Amino acid sequence: MIVTVTLNPAVDEEFLVPEFRPGKWFRTSHVDRSPGGKGINVSYMLSQVGYPSVAMGFLAGFNGEYIRDALRRLRITTNFIHVPGETRSNVYIVDEVGHLETGIAESGPYIPEEALGRFLSNYERMLGRARFVMIGGSLPPGVPQDIYRDLVDRAKSKGVPTLLDAAGPPLMAAIEGGPAFARIDHRFMARVAGVSLTSLDNLIEVVSRVHDYGVEWAVVSYRTYGAVFFSPQGIYLAEYERKGLVSLFAADDALVAGFMIAREERMDAEETIRFSTACAWEDSLHVEKGFRDRSEIDRLASKVNIEKLD
C-alpha cells in the first residue's frame, strides 16, 4: 500500500489568462479546480494510471469536505483528521502569451496539539500496512518544524521507505533522517548552499551533499525542463523539450508520482529517471493537473535525453 501525507492540503485553482498583468481585470480562458497539496497531488496522479493509495493529513471546513469528496470519487482512500477552521486555497495564474506563472498560497488552519496526536496514532497504524510513504508540502500553523524528521524516523523504524518533497527547515531536518528519496527545493537550497544553482556543477554538489546523509535518491530541478538525479548507479541529467509546455504547476509532483510508479514496477535506474521525467513533461503539456494517458507517458519517456555525469 502507498501512503501519502499532506499536512497542509489545499484547493488548487489554476487560471489560464492571456497577457496577465497586475492591476488589471481579466477573463480567464480556462480554469481547473482540484484537490491539492503535494501528497494529495501524488495520490491524484497515481489514481489516474491505476495505482491505489491512502491520503493522510488534516482537513477543515468547506474546502476540506470538497477535497475529501473529490478524492473518494477518484477511489482514493482517505484518512484525514478534521480540525476547526478552513483548509486553504492556492491560486495559480498562467499567462498563456508571456509564459509567466504567478502563484498565491494561503497559510492553512491552525492544528491543535490533540489533533496532531491523533494523526500520529493513525500514521503509526498505517505504517504496518505501507510499502512506501510519500511526505510533502508546507506545514500548517501549530505543527512543529521537525515533524517530517519524526515521520521519516517512525517509518524507518518499521522498515518502510519514505519519499520527501518539501522546503525550508522541515526539509533540512528530515534529510538528516535519511529518507530513501528527496526532491530538493531549488530556491531554498540556493540560499543554504550560498551559491547559484543555475550551474550544473553546483547542482551536482548539492545532490551529492544530500546523498551523504544516506538519501539513496536525490533530485533537484534543472532550469525549467529537466532534473539532476543522484541515483544508486550514479549522477544523471535528464532533459526534455521546451516546445509545447503550457504549465509547470504540479510538474514536480508528477515527477515524484512517476518515481513511485517506477519503483512499483521495478524499473532500473535509467528507466526510473526516464519515466519520472516523462511524467513531469506530460503534466506540463496541459493546464489540467496530472496525466492524460499512461501510453503518452511511455511515449515521452523514450524521448527524454539522459546524460551520465560521473
pLDDT tens-place values along the chain, 310 residues long: 999 999 999 999 999 888 888 888 888 888 889 999 999 999 999 999 999 999 999 999 999 999 999 999 999 999 999 999 999 999 999 887 777 888 999 999 999 999 999 999 999 999 999 999 999 999 999 999 999 999 999 999 999 999 999 988 888 899 989 999 999 876 655 555 555 556 777 778 878 888 888 899 999 888 778 899 999 999 999 999 988 888 888 999 999 999 999 999 999 999 999 999 999 999 999 888 999 999 999 999 999 999 998 7
In a domain, 104, yes or no: no
In a domain, 260, yes or no: yes
3-class secondary-structure state, position 11:
strand
The two beta strands, 181-184 and 162-166, are: parallel
16: left (phi over 0), alpha (psi -120 to 50) or beta: beta
Please give the pLDDT value at position 160: 97
End-to-end alpha-carbon separation of the chain, Å?
35
What beta strand segments (E) does 21-87 contain?
A: 30-36, 54-59, 77-82
Please give the pLDDT value at position 186: 64
In a domain, 61, yes or no: yes
Grid look-up 477552521 returns 85
- C-alpha span between 57 and 88 (Å, rounded): 13
Please give the pLDDT value at position 139: 96
DSSP run (H or E) holding 186: helix 186-193
Q: Which of 297, 292, 289, 291 is nearest to 41 (CA)?
A: 289
Domains: count for the chain: 1
Please give the pLDDT value at position 209: 81
3-state helix, strand, coil in the chain (%, to 5): 35, 25, 35
- Is the Cβ–Cβ distance between 129 and 1 less than 8 Å? yes
Please give the pLDDT value at position 270: 96
In a domain, 13, yes or no: no
Which sign, positive or negative, has the C-alpha torsion 141, 146, 150, 152? positive
- Is the Cβ–Cβ distance between 274 and 210 less than 8 Å? no
Please give the pLDDT value at position 156: 95
- C-alpha span between 304 and 300 (Å, rounded): 7
Please give the pLDDT value at position 205: 81
Report yes or no on whether pTM surpasses 0.85.
yes
In a domain, 176, yes or no: yes
In a domain, 15, yes or no: no
DSSP run (H or E) holding 205: helix 200-211
According to DSSP, residue 131 is labeled S
Q: Which three cell numbers stand for residue 110?
A: 491552525
Please give the pLDDT value at position 97: 77
**Which CATH number fits the domain that encloses residue 249?**
3.40.1190.20
In a domain, 273, yes or no: yes
How far out from the chain centre does Cα 26 lie? 30
Grid look-up 488589471 returns 24
In a domain, 300, yes or no: yes
List the domain range (segments joined by +) for residue 283.
2-7+37-84+110-308
The two beta strands, 77-82 and 54-59, are: parallel
Q: Read off the amino acid at residue 259.
A: F
- Is the Cβ–Cβ distance between 250 and 258 less than 8 Å? no
Packing angle between helix 251-264 and helix 38-48, nearest 10 degrees? Answer: 60
Please give the pLDDT value at position 192: 57
- C-alpha span between 260 and 304 (Å, rounded): 18
Strand partners, 184: 166, 220
